[in-house]
Amino acid sequence: MATQGVKRKLTAILSADAKDYSRLMGEDEDATFHTLTSCLKVMTTLIQQHRGRVVGSPGDAILAEFASVVDAVRCAVDIQKELRARNAELPQNRRMEFRIGINLGDVIEEGDQIYGDGVNIAARIEGLAEGGGICISKTVFNHVKKTLSLGYEYLGEHTVKNIAEPVTVYRVLMEPEAAGKVIGKERAEPRKGQRAALAVIIVLLLLAGGLLIWRAASPPVEVASVEKMAFPLPDKPSIAVLPFDNLSEDPKQDYFSDGITEEIITALSRIPKLFVIARNSTFTYKGKPVKVQQVSEELGVRYVLEGSVRKGGDKIRITAQLIDALTGHHLWAERYDRNPKDIFTVQDEITKKIITAMQVKLTEGEQARAAEKGTTNLDAYLKCLQASELVHRVNMESIVLAKQLAEEAIALDPDYAWAYYVLGRAYHVGMWFGGGISPKQSIARAIELVKKAIALDDTLAEAHGRLGFLYSMTRQYDKGVAEAEKAVALNPNSAMAHVMLGKTLVFAGRWEESIPEYKKAIRLNPIPPNMYFYSLGLSYAWTGQHEEAITWCEKAVRQEPDSLFAHIMMAVVYSLSGRDEAARVEAAEILRINPKLSLGKLEKKVTYKNQEDKECFIGALRRAGLK
């Protein structure tokens, strides 16, 4: 039965993304960004001209919908022709080709967004296309085969991620001489008797040969290249856990699948013998049609875990598969049909299976740390997941709701350490938004809550790291560094722990020592928040390495052009580097974002231990033109 209030519709979905985007960015970020922007603008214009609507454009991808399948395919052809013409003007190694997939399917519509298997299938089909090519589903083919002057090549049935039934795919042939042709047509379906006999033979062969394993049914995975990796492979097993797809009919259940992903990342990161990519980086792939090969090469890891969650009523289905990107082999896969109350057991089992498949031998103490759990109260756990997800949004409305949910979780389980940490984090982040209490009161409350979390569970690395940062903000520098160092000792895989240690060292005047901590954080979180970039840039500036400082701060500004702090650090770095005109441009950007910013108020929030550091920081902004 359909969920009450859910609006559904049939629509044609076009999904596209850039081929070799990570390689292009690695070779020349500025040129690639310029080319990508130009390509997306062309695609958006053509989509609108063909009566389509752009649903979203995350990173190097674009998603659009059309009321007409014919319009969608015509648009895709025009896009590829236009991009091909533009690529002809570029050197071979700088050309940006897009893969396009089109599906006709039923989707859930919520506001301006669309969700569901119809969208997922379009994304999977796009992954089967070549650069500069178009692939379509059988439903699309049936609608356009006699309407458009195009040719088609039957590519067969493909088992694609998180879709129960195989998807029949065709490649669009755009050459004039291919018009009207269908190459490699589908085989006729076997009759009922033939199907039964065939099924018996297959079962007998599988049983006789011992081939009844999941891997045999898995689609091939393109092998990653160590030479193409953006970072050197670590000297221990390395893994990226991709966001589990939410296959529930309610898109608002994202917090549940995201929470499971984050719990698995947290459990794995507690194991010192592993190298685990941080949540922030893997979540940049959320909702995007990415290949294991791409993830491996962009993040510099050997193993990739992907999965899905379907939650409905009193049942959940969780699937997970672990892939060795260097061999393309599926090392392990499992499906769990459970009651939501069993979620903690499932998470434990997945973690143990991953560790075993990666052939990592743990001591008894390490096994215990991997299986740590904060609560057995499902309602408290779910509320804490929602609160944590809301804090990530970093806005006043979300912070208020996050506080409420975290407090409700604590009421349900007063011994739930993670709930106190999430509430403390909400107060820390919320200090920048006001919300009825002063920044001083927010910090005091945050310290109180984080200390409570540590008292309940002294192994929470994130809590120790945040407490260290909070101590530095209240001028307790030695205590701050001690707490942040403990965080890194507890969890050397935590990018946030390394960032917090870097920041506490900076507040204590130990700028040189902060640089390796920031660099470790960026390796663990290769696609980080811009705070990682401008923090490292500022430390480079303070140690006289001005070109490095400018490089990292410019990355922060490019990543988030409306980030107040990125522009503040950029202005300081330009000023300290003697680039006064560039510093004044940044000052204008600061006032564009926050016209009421004053150095007097900012100075009160700069709690550096060394007075000369504070004077240098404020002086650099004053020279840039701020008052």
DSSP class per residue in 440-479:
HHHHHHHHHHHHHHHHH-TT-HHHHHHHHHHHHHTT-HHH
pLDDT-based confidence at 608, cuts 50/70/90?
very high
Backbone angles phi, psi at 232, to 5 degrees: -65, 145
pLDDT reading at 32 higher than 90: no
Question: Residue 206 pLDDT > 70, yes or no?
Answer: no
In a domain, residue 414? The reply is no
Residues 257 and 158 in one domain: no
Whole-angstrom distance, CA of residue 396 vs CA of residue 41: 32
Confidence band of 67 (pLDDT split at 50, 70, 90): very high
Q: Is residue 188 in some structural domain?
A: no
In this predicted structure, the answer to whether residue 280 has a pLDDT above a threshold of 60 is yes
For the beta carbon of residue 316, count every other beta carbon within 10 angstroms: 23
Q: Are residues 120 and 239 in the same domain?
A: no
| pLDDT value of residue 12 | 95
pLDDT at residue 356 above 50? yes
230 and 162: one domain? Answer: no
Give residue 360's pLDDT: 62
Give the pLDDT band of residue 213 (cuts 50, 70, 90): very low
Report how far residue 612's alpha carbon sits from residue 609's, in angstroms, rounded to the nearest whole number.
9
Residue 552 confidence (pLDDT) above 90: yes
Output the pLDDT for position 333. Answer: 79
Residues 392 and 243: their CA atoms lie apart, in Å, by 15
Residue with tokens 């129960």: 164
- pLDDT bucket at 75, cuts 50 / 70 / 90: very high
Average the pLDDT over each of 327-331, 353-357, 603-607 and give the range with the smallest value: 353-357
Look up tokens 């009160």; give the residue.
Answer: 604
Whether the per-residue pLDDT at 603 is higher than 50: the answer is yes
Give strand pairing partners of 171.
135, 153
Q: Answer with the residue of higher pLDDT: 168 or 432.
A: 168
315-324 and 329-338: which strand pairing?
antiparallel
Question: Structure tokens of 324?
Answer: 């060795």
Residue pointed to by tokens 């193409």? 228
Q: Clarify whether residues 240 and 319 are in a common domain.
A: yes
Same domain, 293 and 166: no
How many Å separate Cα 538 from the centre of its chain? 26
Judged against a pLDDT cut of 50, whether residue 204 lies above it is answered with: no
Q: How far apart are CA 181 and CA 455, in angstroms?
A: 71
Q: What is the per-residue pLDDT for 527?
A: 87
CB 107 within 8 A of CB 114: yes
Average pLDDT for residues 571-600, to the nearest whole number? 93
Residue 244 sits in the same domain as residue 169: no
Residue 215 lies in a domain: no
The pLDDT of 436-458, averaged and rounded, is: 90
Determine which of 125-134, 160-169, 226-235 has the lowest per-residue pLDDT on average: 160-169
HSE-CB of 512 using CA atoms within 13 angstroms? 2
Same domain, yes or no: 164 and 298: no
Total structural domains within the chain? 3
Mean pLDDT over 456-468 rounds to: 92
More reliable by pLDDT, 495 or 290: 495
pLDDT score recorded for residue 6: 65
pLDDT of residue 261: 86
* pLDDT at residue 532, rounded to an integer: 93
The answer to whether residues 423 and 388 touch, using CB atoms and an 8 Å cutoff, is no
Tell me whether residue 165 is in a domain.
Answer: yes
Give the position of tokens 């897009």.
Answer: 98
Please report which helix (H) or strand (E) contains residue 56, including its range.
strand 52-56
Tell me the C-alpha to C-alpha distance, in Å, between residue 473 and each of 89, 460, 511, 537, 552. 53, 20, 16, 20, 24
Contact 198, 190 (CB under 8 A): yes
The domain that holds 580 is classified in CATH as 1.25.40.10
The domain that contains 80 carries what CATH number? 3.30.70.1230
> What is the reported pLDDT for 381?
82
Same domain, residue pair 53 and 166: yes
Same domain, 284 and 159: no
- Burial status of residue 176 (CB atoms within 10 A of its CB: 0-12, 13-18, 19 or more): exposed
Residue 32, token pair as written in the block: 């690639």
Least confident of 58-62, 277-281, 442-446, 511-515: 58-62
On the question of pLDDT at 622 being above 80, the answer is yes
Cα distances (angstroms) measured from residue 231 to each of 296, 298, 453: 10, 8, 35
Phi, psi of 10 (to 5 degrees): -95, 130
* CA 240 – CA 242 distance, rounded (Å): 6
Question: Is the distance from CB of 473 to CB of 487 less than 8 angstroms?
Answer: no
Q: How far apart are CA 370 and CA 176, in angstroms?
A: 59
Which pLDDT belongs to residue 162?
60
Q: Is the pLDDT of residue 109 over 80?
A: yes
Report how far residue 244's alpha carbon sits from residue 347's, in angstroms, rounded to the nearest whole number.
12
Looking at residue 190, its pLDDT comes to: 45
Residue 421's pLDDT band, with cuts at 50, 70 and 90, is very high
Q: Kindly provide the b/e burial profile for residues 38-76, where b requires at least 16 CB atoms within 10 angstroms of the residue's own CB.
A: ebbeebeebbeebebebbeeeebbbbbbbebbebbbbbb
Asked whether residue 302 is assigned to any structural domain, the reply reads: yes
Given this model, what pLDDT does residue 51 score?
Answer: 93
Say if residue 189's pLDDT is above 90: no
Residue 591 lies in a domain: yes
The DSSP output letter for 67 is S
pLDDT in tens, 151-166: 999 888 877 666 767 8
* Residue 52 lies inside a defined structural domain of this protein: yes
Q: What is the reported pLDDT for 344?
A: 72
Longest dimension (CA), the chain: 87
| pLDDT > 70 in the chain, percent | 88
- Which spans in 115-158 are helix H? 117-128, 138-144
What's the gap between Cα 330 and its chain centre?
22
276, β-bridge pairs: 239
Residue 170 has pLDDT above 50, yes or no: yes
State how far Cα 547 lies from the chain centre.
29
Q: Are residues 138 and 40 in the same domain?
A: yes
pLDDT tens-digit series, residues 490-531: 889 899 999 999 999 999 999 999 999 999 999 999 988 889
Work out the angle at residue 507's Cα, subtended by the Cα atoms of residues 505 and 510, and round it to the nearest 5 degrees.
40
In a domain, 324, yes or no: yes
Structural domain including 88 reads 7-183
Between CA 336 and CA 251, with CA 214 as vertex, the angle to 5 degrees is 45
Q: If pLDDT is split at 50, 70 and 90, which confidence band does 186 have?
A: low
Band of residue 436 on the pLDDT scale cut at 50, 70, 90: low
Q: CB of 483 within 8 A of CB of 462? A: no
Residue 368: pLDDT above 70? no
> Given pLDDT bands bounded at 50, 70 and 90, which one contains residue 202?
very low
Single residue among 311, 336, 370 that ends a domain in this structure: 370
Q: What is the mean pLDDT of the chain?
A: 84
Question: What percentage of the chain carries pLDDT values higher than 90?
Answer: 43
Domain endpoint, select from 152, 183, 214: 183
pTM over 0.85: no
With a cut of 50, say whether residue 579 has pLDDT above it: yes
CATH classification at residue 240? 3.40.50.10610
Q: Does residue 235 share a domain with residue 329?
A: yes
How far is Cα of residue 590 from the mean position of the Cα atoms in its chain?
28
Q: Could you give the angle at which helices 546-559 and 530-542 cross, rounded to 10 degrees?
A: 160
Give the Cα separation of 521 and 501 in Å (integer). 10
CA 402 to chain centre: 21
Q: Once rounded to an integer, what is the mean pLDDT over residues 572-592?
A: 94
Query: Can you tell me whether residue 75 is helix, strand or coil?
Result: helix
Place of tokens 């499932």: 346
